[in-house]
Amino acid sequence: MATTKELKMTVRLFLKAYRWRENSPIPWTPLAKPLADCRVALVSSAGFVPPGQAKFDESVRGGDSTFRVVPRNTEPGELSDSHRSESFDHTAMEADPDLAFPLTRIRELADEGFLGEVAPRHLSYMGSITAPEHLMRESAPAGAAVLIEDQVDLALLVPV
Amino acid sequence: MCNQTVGLIAAELERKGIPTVTLQLLRSIAEAVKPPRGLWVPFAHGYPLHKPGEPELQKNVMRRALEMAADPLLEAGALQDYIPED
């Protein structure tokens, strides 16, 4: 189980004073069709970067809130980890990227008929963002535009 | 911070008409940020889908999460707990 007790003291003190951003009001869109007919996209904040794309910038104050588009035919082993946080164990997701960006698993769920199909593009963010204003104002809407263009019916979001 | 980040992105997707389910590793942050549909998973940071190299365990989490989207009884801010079988 994840707890803040496993974090460094400096991180724990930061989190204790941190003002979490609350979704208010909480937006809500009902699912329009059965899962077996849905086109599903992944949104991971594990900081994975596909081949040929720039790593997330560790020097950005407040966190790099840009995102990378991950085509559905990307193999998990092609992803490189550029999540800046030292507050979690990176070894497992580097050994098995499906643990945090389940590209293979979502294909299998579609093959099994649990889902309709895998969206053509997924989104990769780097979740260590302490100042999320740019994320909320620009980067999240830009990511949404990609999924809207792809006529995605449902998104699964995965933090690390 | 990852938990907040995905919760905020999920809200933007819902505002734009895309239903979401958001995994959450810290229940306290899920309760503060309030993703539209949240599934708290009792796993360590870095292990959102349970264990590496265990496809079935990983898919169990995904199935459980995605089923939340298909539940017509849920309302905005729904937060459920994932209970692993093992």
pTM: 0.96
Q: Give the per-residue pLDDT at B9.
A: 98
CA A153 to CA A84: how far, in whole Å? 31
Q: Are the beta carbons of A129 and B49 separated by less than 8 Å?
A: no
User: Which residue range is the domain that position A71 belongs to?
Assistant: 33-158
* Segment (H or E) for A15: helix A9-17
Q: Are the beta carbons of B55 and A63 separated by less than 8 Å?
A: no
- Residues in contact with A45: Cβ distance below 8 Å, sequence separation at least 6, in sequence order: A124, A125, A126, A127, A157, A158, A159, A160, B2, B5, B6, B9
Provide, as residue numbers in chain B, all residues whose Cβ is less than 8 Å from the Cβ of A155: 10, 13, 18-21
**Res. A147 pLDDT band, cuts 50 70 90:** very high
Q: Are the beta carbons of A157 and B22 separated by less than 8 Å?
A: yes
The closest of A133, A79, A81, A84 to A103, measured between CA atoms, is A79
Q: Which of B13, B48, B52 sits opposite A147 (nearest CB)?
A: B13
Q: Are the beta carbons of A27 and B35 separated by less than 8 Å?
A: no
| Residue position matching structure tokens 């164990």 | A89
Q: What is the mean pLDDT of residues B10-33?
A: 97
Give SS3 for B47.
coil
Asked whether residue A120 is domain-assigned, the answer is yes
Q: Give the per-residue pLDDT at B86.
A: 65
Asked whether residue A14 is domain-assigned, the answer is no
Model pLDDT for residues A53-78, shown as the tens digit of each residue: 999 999 999 999 999 999 999 999 99
The answer to whether A134 faces chain B, any CB pair under 8 Å, is: no
Least confident of A50-59, A82-91, A109-118, B9-18: A82-91
Model pLDDT for residues A102-123, shown as the tens digit of each residue: 999 999 999 999 999 999 999 9
Asked whether residue A150 is domain-assigned, the answer is yes
Q: Are the beta carbons of B5 and A148 separated by less than 8 Å?
A: no
**Res. A79 pLDDT band, cuts 50 70 90:** very high
Provide, as residue numbers in chain A, all residues whose Cβ is less than 8 Å from the Cβ of B13: 43, 140, 143-144, 147, 155
Q: Give the per-residue pLDDT at B50.
A: 97
Asked whether residue A112 is domain-assigned, the answer is yes
Model pLDDT for residues B34-80, shown as the tens digit of each residue: 999 999 999 999 999 999 999 999 999 999 999 999 999 999 999 99
The answer to whether A100 faces chain B, any CB pair under 8 Å, is: yes
Q: Which ipTM was obtained for this model?
A: 0.98
CA A67 to CA A56: how far, in whole Å? 8
Asked whether residue A20 is domain-assigned, the answer is no
Give SS3 for A146.
helix
Model pLDDT for residues A8-42, shown as the tens digit of each residue: 888 888 888 899 999 999 999 999 999 999 999 99
Q: Domain tally for chain A?
A: 1
Flag whether pLDDT at B6 surpasses 70: yes
CA A63 to CA A59: how far, in whole Å? 8
Flag whether pLDDT at A6 surpasses 80: no
**For testing the chain A interface, which of B26, B34, B62 should be mutated: the one with the most A CBs within 10 Å?**
B62
CA B37 to CA A104: how far, in whole Å? 23
Asked whether residue A75 is domain-assigned, the answer is yes
Strands (E), chain A: 39-44, 48-49, 67-71, 80-81, 117-118, 121-125, 154-158
Q: Give the per-residue pLDDT at A85.
A: 86
* Residue A156 near residue A103, CB atoms below 8 Å: no
The answer to whether A79 faces chain B, any CB pair under 8 Å, is: no
